Structures are given as structure tokens and as C-alpha cells.
Structure 1
Amino acid sequence: MSDLWLPGAERLSIGNTAPTDGGPAKAIAHITWDRNATKAKPQDLVPYANLRSYFSGGGKGLAPHILWDPFTGRMVQFFPANSRSLCLRDVSGGTRTNRAGSVVLQIEALFFPYCRVGGKTYESLVDTPLKGWDDLHAWVASWGVASSWPMGKPTSFTGKRDERIWRMRSGWYAHAHVPENDHTDPGTWPDFTVNTKKPAFETFPGASWFTMGRKSPVVARMHDRLVAVGCNRYQSSANKDVIGSGDKASYEAWQRKLGFTGSAATWPPGKTSWDELKVPKV
């Protein structure tokens, strides 16, 4: 069973839950767009804490499921996945926009065009670091939301609405796609294949990288791993971030341990043995 609350997100239930109506599972992409900036006059991004307080306080009546900060990866969830949230305009007698699916997961990205963060200006959401997107997308998909855009992936602030598609198709919808609404956000949205997570281990830097005297924190991590796998041929741990004779002897012991022989077991390291050593990412 999928998690009602996004793992890793802050859980800040604001109550006022209500069931959805059933039908194709949907996710709705929004941006907060709480300031109007331009390329000529960018403005500082509104602090995450301000929006968190707004949606859990005076703005409860407009709260999404998730507020996502793509610059830091912080997320807070206000409604469980099986409840409707309240971001969308819902006209009496029409499609119940906030409930029109088995789930209707609404994501508000903390962003507006030409926002400024750390002195840098960001024109579109996809220009940001998109931290946390991997986990957020995986959680949405776990609720049966298709990784597709039935009305087309948003690439500009242009509305496109087709209630027939809305009623029939699972997937992601821009706020600009939702019937009864007139907003044109989010403008852009990350690809479903975007991976913002750093690899757990250092990638092989190439044999020519392993020159005597090179200083790098990667060398220190390699040193520690060679010791951990029982191939310690070091005379000392001093200056362990600098490649020296102890690294050469220890790494050759590691290659022999893996079954390499002859010239294949000699310095410098090769990609196969490096990948097997699993040197933690710096």
C-alpha cells in the first residue's frame, strides 16, 4: 500500500479532509507565483517558512497536498494523499476539480519567474536545482498517477483545457489544464527522468588521474576503503589525501584480492576494480 504521507516530508496536517470522487489518478502542477518579477527587475524568492505558515494558517482554504522547495528539497504535506486538497477553483455543478480522481495530488513548487536565490536569477522552474524531485515523483507515481501529460507537458504560461481529456486520462496536469480555472502556471515542470540524487560512490576518474603526489579528498576516501576491505599496505595514515607508495601497494593488493593477475593487477587502478571498491562520494 502506498504511503498516505510522503516519506521525508514534514507532516503538517491541517484537518478538513474529504474523500475524492474516484476515476483516473491525477497530479496537478502549480507554482506559488507569489511575486511578479521580470528579467530586468528580479525579486528575492519568498522564504519557504512564509508559505508553510500561510498554507497552514490564513491560506488553509487554498492549501495543496505538498509545498515543495526545489532549491533545498524541503517539503511539507498538509493533506493525506487520499483526501482532496484545496488549490483549484471548483464551480458548483461542474466537475469537482479538487476531487476528480482516485487521487488528485496537488504540488505547489516554491517558485516564480525571475526569482532570485543566492544572487542568481531563475527564469523558469526547470532552471532550479530541482532538489527532491526524484522522491516526490516516485511517491506520486506510487498512487497510480501516470508519468505523462495528457494535455501536453507545460513549456510556457499558456492555458489549454479539455474537460473530456480531464475526465478520462490519468497523469500530470498543469494548473493551466484544469477545467473551471484560469491560471496559466507552472510554465515548465521537470522531466520524469530527471535524477537529482548524487551517486552514492565516486565514479572512476580515469587511469591517468592516479598520479603520484595528487592531493584530493577522493584519495583519502580510497585510503579508508582499502583499509576497510583488508588491503592495508600503508606505513602511515599521515597525508592520506595524497597519492603515495602506500596507495599503490594497497590498491595492487585489492586488485589481486579480486582475482586480477599479471599486469592487470598492477597500478594504476582500472574501472572494474574501482567500481568494486565503492569509494563513497565526496
Structure 2
Amino acid sequence: MAELYLPGATKLLIGDDAPTDGGKPKAIAHVTWDRNATASKPQNLVPYEDLRTYFGKNPDGRRSAPHILWDPFVGRCTQFYPATSRSKSVVDLAGGTRTNRAGKVVLQVEALFFPYCRVGGKVYAKLTDTPCKGWAELNAWVRSWGVPDVWPMGRPNGFTSDRSESVWESKAGWFGHNQTPENKHTDPGSWPAFTSGPKTYEPYPGASFFMNGTRPALGKRSPIFTAMGERLVAVGCGRYKVGPGPVLGQADVDSYEAWQRKQGFTGSDAKWPPGRTTWDALKVPNV
């Protein structure tokens, strides 16, 4: 059964849920486009926390909140509505075709991005130039709600409008904001290719893998620690100044213990090493 909430996403629920209309399941791709930059004048990416607060707590932002805010540079996500509710990131005119509600689900995803944003000294002209971290998991979750891996009006390629009310009303799949009726936005400009199938996850390696006798195995090297650390950052539990990985360090221990507390464990149950329940919930990609 599909999950109401994207596994690993932080929940910041707005609370004004409303049903969709039923029918062909859809997803709508957006970028936040919160600054206007150019190739000659790039600008720094707006902090993820600013957009999270805007959609989750600012009255103006709440009126246009999507289901998911996705950071393609780190892989973290925040969810504002359950999958079965409509969200509000596209215009829906009275008396016209339905947009925010036009399907069994209408899952709206806002990627934290604008053209020619600068991150870590590098400039990114298109969303597909970014690492697109977390896309495989996001794509799999949307797919689990019956949204097929198709673009009925073509995969976005440039900031142009291309809208068809008849296609919108009759087809399931992914649509760009630039393809949604009654709207004037031209984003997302580009979008990552669909993944080949459900993501496989690293099986729990056992408590002994993380230990050197009775102590954490600090200094042990493994790509598992890199993948684990990236997921801990994505779920908001990263305690890293550098890294993560591939060498196990105290920051990994501190981050994982924060994750175990976030999962409801307390006292000694929240301490290192990782347990099977929290490991499976973290969904560390297979390495």
C-alpha cells in the first residue's frame, strides 16, 4: 500500500487538507524560482530553511504550498500535505478545469532551484545540472501512488508554455507547471529522467559492523558510512562539519543517535550502534 508521507521526509503539515476529485493520477513538477539570476549575474541559492518556513508557516506561502519541497543538492524533503489531499501550488480558477484536484492524486513537487543559482562556488543553469539527490526515492514514492513514469505533453525542456486542457483532463502522468491549464508559469525548465525502478536499500549489516568490541568502530572505512551519512543529512539529523564518510567518525555516531531519538527511541535504546528498525526506516541506498 502506498504511504501517505514520503519516507524520510520531514513533516510540516499545514492542516487544511481537502480531497481531490478522483480520476487520472498526476504529479506536477515545479522549481521555487525565488530569485532572478542570469549567466552573467548568478546568485546564491536561497537557504532550504527559508523556503521550508515560507511554505509551512508564512500565510502567503501556505496559500501556495506544494506537497513536497525537495532539495536536489542534498536530497532532503519536507512534506506539507498528505498524498491524498490537494495542495495549492497551481492556479485553479473558479468555473474552469480543475488543477490542484484533477486526479486520484495530484502530487506537487517544488525543487529548490532557480536558473543560474550558485552553490559551493558552482553555478547551475538547469535543474538537471544539479546532483538531483533524493530523486530516485521521490520518483518511487510518486510512482507508488499510480502516477506513471510518462510526460503526456513531453518532458520539460526550456522555459516555455505548452498547455492542453484536453490532455490534462484525460491523461495520467507528470506535468510541468508550464503544462498546467489556467497557469502562466514556465517552470521547471528541465526535470531529471525517471529512474529504472524501485530503489534498493543497503541491508542491515548487524550491530557488530558498527562496533570495535564495546566501542564505536571509529576510523573504520566503508562506502556504507557515506551513504548512511547522506541519508542522515537528508532527514535532518546530520551533525557534520565535514563529510559524511567514508571513514566512521564521531559525527556519524552523533547523527545516528539523533535519528534514533527522532524515531522515538530514548535512553540506551537511542545510543550507538544502529538498530535494525531505525536502519530499515532510514533507507540507506545500496552501495
TM-score of the alignment, normalized to the shorter chain, above 0.5? yes
SS at match of 2:100: helix
Post-superposition Cα deviations, 1:62-86, rounded to whole Å, max 9, x if no partner, equal 0000000000001000000000000
Aligned residues: 207
Letter in 1 for 2:175: Y
**How far off its partner does 1:219 sit?**
9.3
Contact 2:73 2:133 survives alignment (8 Å): yes
Contact 2:139 2:195 survives alignment (8 Å): no
**How far off its partner does 1:57 sit?**
1.5
Match in the other structure for 1:9: 9
Q: Distance in 2 between matches of 1:218 and 1:194?
A: 32
SS at match of 1:97: coil
Letter in 2 for 1:32: T
Alignment of 1:137-216 (within 5 A): 137-193=139-195
Match in the other structure for 1:44: 44
Match in the other structure for 1:212: none
Q: Distance in 2 between matches of 1:176 and 1:130?
A: 20
**How far off its partner does 1:133 sit?**
0.2
Q: Give structure 2 stretches of 5+ with no counterpart.
A: 204-218, 224-285
Q: Distance in 2 between matches of 1:51 and 1:38?
A: 21
* Correspondence for 1:63 among 65, 73, 79: 65
CA separation of 1:219 and 1:64: change in aligned 2, threshold 3 A: closer
RMSD: 2.3
Is 1:21 aligned to 2:21, yes or no?
yes
Q: Distance in 1 between matches of 2:102 and 2:178?
A: 16
**How far off its partner does 1:193 sit?**
2.7
CA separation of 1:136 and 1:219: change in aligned 2, threshold 3 A: closer
Q: Which has the larger radius of gyration?
A: 1
* Correspondence for 1:88 among 87, 90, 94: 90
SS at match of 2:52: helix
Letter in 1 for 2:84: N
Normalising by structure 2, we get a TM-score of 0.69
Is 1:108 aligned to 2:107, yes or no?
no
Q: Distance in 2 between matches of 1:198 and 1:190?
A: 19
Q: Distance in 2 between matches of 1:18 and 1:131?
A: 30
**How far off its partner does 1:141 sit?**
0.2
The runs of 4+ residues in structure 1 deviating greater than 3 Å are 197-201, 217-221
Q: Distance in 2 between matches of 1:66 and 1:194?
A: 22
CA separation of 1:43 and 1:194: change in aligned 2, threshold 3 A: farther
Post-superposition Cα deviations, 1:247-276, rounded to whole Å, max 9, x if no partner, equal xxxxxxxxxxxxxxxxxxxxxxxxxxxxxx
Match in the other structure for 1:276: none
CA separation of 1:3 and 1:199: change in aligned 2, threshold 3 A: closer
CA separation of 1:155 and 1:218: change in aligned 2, threshold 3 A: farther
